[in-house]
Amino acid sequence: MLYTKSGNAVSKIGIGTWTIKKENIDKEVEALKYYFSKGVNYIDVVLAYDNGTTLDVIAKFLKSVKREDIFINAFITHGCQQISDIEKQINTYIEKLEVSYFDCITLHSPAIIGFDFKEYVKEIKRLQKKYKFLNIGYSNLSPEMFEQVKDHIAYFEGLYNLENKINEDTDVIKACQKNNTAFYAFQPLRRNRTAKQNYKEVVSLANKYSKTQNQILINWMVKHKNIGILIKSSNKDHIKENLESLNFEMSKADYKSLDKFRNAEFDKLKVSYLNEEGAIRIETVPNQPIGIL
């Protein structure tokens, strides 16, 4: 389990920051404050988002909370072509966010770095001692890569939703649980695209429990699968709806019906963790044009 520096457990629902834009800074900051007021104390920060200006929004939000009460996970992301770029990105985060430490530094994907993965691992361990960030995380690793870092990985961000269960199929989630590594899913709702499919299994449960389809999916992942999820909204009604997903229980049989669900089109995709020719990189799988989008 992850904790903030003040000792609070990190919320199972975290704030994703994709599409946060500086042009909407006041609305976005108010949404972030609302998340925090409702107990959400984990936020992702990604230098590549909106040409770096997303960090300006987050920096303004951080001025409204106690630093030790929020878990900040900063990503080493695109533009990391040589070893020295790792430290440059960390320093950019420090400068833009005006923080003295990070709760976690996470590699966005081994496919985006321009050097060997083992070199990255060695350097991030060195930088952890220098910058004193509390945890090291990785995202989009293959099972073999996970084995290489299991001695120090505290956080894993991976693909998981109703239609995309590759990290369960390859036992990565099981390995995380065995290793006491927190697993958080990106695109758990496929940015509302899963609900748009109106799968009969999900529609039936939504009707049975008088909930939205997204509430059914969030409840299943967090309460039954025991994984964290990252979601983003600047609409307070949507935020409230998402957080209320944890306020009910479904039957074991209903949870199992979602466990068993498969989407054959997604299952047959050839997926790569690096840049294998003719394959789809794992982080782009949820965006594939399958079904009703």
User: Domain-by-domain residue ranges, the chain?
Assistant: 13-287
pLDDT (mean) for 102-117: 97
Q: Which two tokens stand for residue 103?
A: 């709760």
Side-chain-facing half-sphere of 285: CA atoms under 13 Å:
30
What's the confidence (pLDDT) of residue 291? 83
Q: In this model, does residue 293 exceed pLDDT 70?
A: no
pLDDT (mean) for 200-214: 98
What's the confidence (pLDDT) of residue 255? 98
What's the confidence (pLDDT) of residue 71? 98
What's the confidence (pLDDT) of residue 52? 87
Q: In this model, does residue 171 exceed pLDDT 70?
A: yes
128-154 pLDDT tens trace: 999 999 999 999 999 999 999 999 999
* DSSP H/E element including 252: helix 252-260
Q: In this model, does residue 226 exceed pLDDT 90?
A: yes
Neighbours of 107 (CB within 10 A): 25
Which residues contact residue 284 at a Cβ distance below 8 angstroms, ignoring those fewer than 6 apart?
none
51-90 pLDDT tens trace: 889 999 999 999 999 999 999 999 999 999 999 999 999 9
CATH architecture of the domain with residue range 13-287: Alpha-Beta Barrel (3.20)
What's the confidence (pLDDT) of residue 231? 95
* Among 113, 290, 48, residue whose Cα is nearest residue 193: 290
What's the confidence (pLDDT) of residue 19? 87
Q: Does residue 280 come out as left (phi exceeding 0), alpha (psi in the -120 to 50 range) or beta?
A: beta
Which residues contact residue 104 at a Cβ distance below 8 angstroms, ignoring those fewer than 6 apart?
2, 71, 72, 73, 74, 133, 134, 135, 136, 137, 154, 155
Mean pLDDT, the chain, as a whole number? 96
pLDDT (mean) for 235-262: 97
Q: Where do we find the tokens 């748009």? A: 196
E strands within 140-234? 153-159, 182-186, 228-231
Burial 229-265 (b: 16+ CB within 10 A, else e): bbbbbbeeebbebbbebeeeebeeebbebbeeeebee
Query: Cβ-count burial of 83 within 10 angstroms (0-12 exposed, 13-18 middle, 19+ buried)?
Result: middle
pLDDT (mean) for 170-191: 97
CB 230 within 8 A of CB 188: yes
